[in-house]
Structures are given as C-alpha cells and as structure tokens.
Amino acid sequence: MSSIIASESRRLEGSIQVPGDKSISHRAVILGAISVGESKILRLLEGEDVLATVAAFRTMGVQMSGPRDGSLKINGVGLNGLTKPASPLDMGNSGTAMRLLAGLLAGQAFPATLTGDASLRQRPMERIMTPLGQMGADLTAADGKPPLAINPVSRLKGISYRLPMASAQVKSSILLAGLYAKGSTEIQESTPTRDHTERMIAGFTGRRWEPGSPIQVKSGLILRGQRITVPGDISSAAFFLVAAVLCPGSDVTLCGIGINPTRAAVLEILNLMGANIEICERRQESGEPLCDLRVRSQGLQGIDVPRGLVANAIDEFPVLAIAAAGADGTTRIREATELRFKESDRINAVVEGLGNLGISAVEYEDGMDIIGGRFRSGTIDSRGDHRIAMAFAVAGCCSNGSVVVNDCQNIATSFPGFVETGCALGMHLVEKL
C-alpha cells in the first residue's frame, strides 16, 4: 500500500489478536539459530523486519522451515556453526536486526557486511561500535552509519560497560558479542530497558531470569533449542488501545498481549491520562508475562509524562501523541531525544503532522508539548515510518472528517494486516495504491 485514508469512526468493538512481538521475534530467531538442536517458534511476527533476520541466517547456513502461519522451525548450528555469507546481509528497515547481528557477527571467524534500506543507512551505529570496539571487535562504517563492515578477530574479551543511553538494542548487541568473549561481560543500566534478551538467553541455557539480577553473560555457555510462543506486541496493541479510548462507545479486547514490566509503560501513561484499561487473565508463556487487555472509551486529561516512563514507552510515543491530542489540556514529553533516531525524526514528524490536522504542538530538542483539541481533515507524510503512519491512521478515525496518510509501505515491517485488523473492530480505513 502507498496510502491509507482514515475517516471518522464511532463505536469500535470486538476481540482481536495483534501480531507477535517484534523484539521477541528477532531474538528468538537469533538465539534459535546459534543453539544446539531444533527450536520451534510460534506466533512469530511475519513482518518484513523479522523476515530480514530469518533471511540473514539462511544466508549463513541455518536451515529453517517456514515461517508459515506464524510457525518457524530452526535447526540450530550452535555458537560456532554459522558460515560466511556470500554477499552483504540486507537488514531492510530494521535497526534492531542490524545492531543485534553486529554483536553476534563480531565474534565470528569470517567477515560480514550489514546493510539496509535508505532509512536504515542513515541511522547511527557508533553506539554499538564503541562498546564492541572495547571488546576487541573490528567494525568500520563511514560516518558511523551503515553499511557496517565486520572483520574477524582472534578473540573478543569480556567487558564491564555502563550504557550511556537507555537502549535495549545496544545492551543486546553487547550480550550477544559476550557469548563469544573470553571471561564475563557485564552491563549496567541507569534506566532499566526491555529485558527480552536476558530472559531468552536464560531460557536457552536452562536458567531463569529474575528482574533486577546482574546483566551478564560468561564464556562457555551452551544454548539448546527451545519451543517459544511469542506474545502479542504491546507496541502494535497500542494503536487500538488509543483508538478505542478516543472513539465514543468503544469496547475492545486485545488478546494475548505481552506485558513485560520493561514494556508496559505505555499502559501506565494511558492510565495516568485517565484511560479505562482492564488487565485480564494474567499468565506466562516462554518466560514472558502476558494478558488480555479490555479497553473502553474514556475522556483523557493531558499530563506531564513522568520521565522515568519515557525510555520504556519510546516506541509508543507516536500513538501516545495522538492520545494527547485528543485529551483535555496539555501533555508534555521530555527526555525523549531517542525519538529523533528512529525510522524518522519522530519528534519533528509528530509535531508537523499534528499541525496539519489542526492540533497545536511545540517541538523541543528532547520532546514536545501537545495541546489537546479536535482533529480536522488533512494529509500526512509518514516519511516511510511505520509507527508514524499507523498513529495518524488512528487520528483519522478520531477526526471530524478524514485523514490521508501517505508513504505507508513500511507498515509491513511490523504490522502486516494492520488495516484489516482495524476494520474488523470498526475503524474506517481504506488502502490506496
């Protein structure tokens, strides 16, 4: 699709499942590939980002069956069983795949190059190159941006590293490199970030991850194939949470959503704004907590977003901005500079887009102020950013008219079937080529 036309929607209702969590899907493929024995992944996200990770490991000699209907079988080759790729590995639009694979490939006995689409080639890689360099890795990239060339070294060394920014991607890249390093690799965080890698490494090595435990890996670990059920992606669920809150008379249930404590800040923020969200049927699968979320329409109030919640809601801020625009009063977001280094400069893209729809918003270096109002009709340039596109599609459903969102092809990177899922709930969404 190239455009979405989203128009005023009244009552949303029904129960749906959203695609599997993208972050967990990437990690399941990576760890399954370097494990001993077979892994089976269920509810894998079959979006373009994850498929790029699958393709990369196939290129490096890992045999896989699927994915088909969310099911993928992986015949793991062990830590040292990957083979040299014949050409650069194209990670498409996925910063997660590039940064995680950089850590993994830094410990291999062969050279490799990671590249991606035009957007990914503009994203900064110094944040992983610095700690991996301290481990002895040999990585080069012009101006710190992809393509990223990785050359083999005799042996990586374990380090103790304090993250200068809150980034689960950087943390995971270092931990994956640590699997190949001599000694122990340990990471300190000033702000806890999503801990999917820690949980999953523990599962593949027959251990249990306890939140708050030291974040470290040691040489000599053996990973063994696992059966993993991927929970629904809370980042994908957030679009329908906000749509149901803002569209009058709505009552929607989202089934099987992951609520890892390091990912649930979006729920805390919406609840602080006054959202009516009920957590039902708490349970745990494959080391991850999940639940069903029932959300009903409710008037919202603008808030000062607590700074301690920002890092763990960073992917949800495009749609949280739509919630803020539909709230009474002003919402203030700070310490969110990381939004400028996503698939687009999301601070600028959100503020510009809201202005196009008649909402007052002020841009700051590390965030934005949004004054609640009523969406009018307009046209949005999503800048090829999947989350910007879906967020403004939600805005169109909450408008007095209709909103045209252009450049929507990259929605397929994280949420294939977004339009069909929204329509099943009663959202008025039309795709245009």
CB 241 within 8 A of CB 254: yes
Show which residues are catalytic.
315
Which H or E run includes 114?
strand 112-115
- The set of residues, in sequence order, having a beta carbon less than 8 Å from that of 154 and lying 6+ positions away, is none
What are phi and psi for residue 107, nearest 5 degrees?
A: -100, 10
* Residue of 8, 13, 85 whose CA lies nearest to 294: 13
* Residue of 198, 178, 184 whose CA lies nearest to 79: 178
Q: Which residue has the tokens 């209709």?
A: 402
Q: Which two tokens stand for residue 43?
A: 């509810």
CB 240 within 8 A of CB 9: no
Edge-to-edge order in the sheet of strand 112-115: 89-90, 112-115, 148-151, 138-140
Chain center to CA of 15:
23
- d(CA 184, CA 171) in angstroms, rounded, equals 14
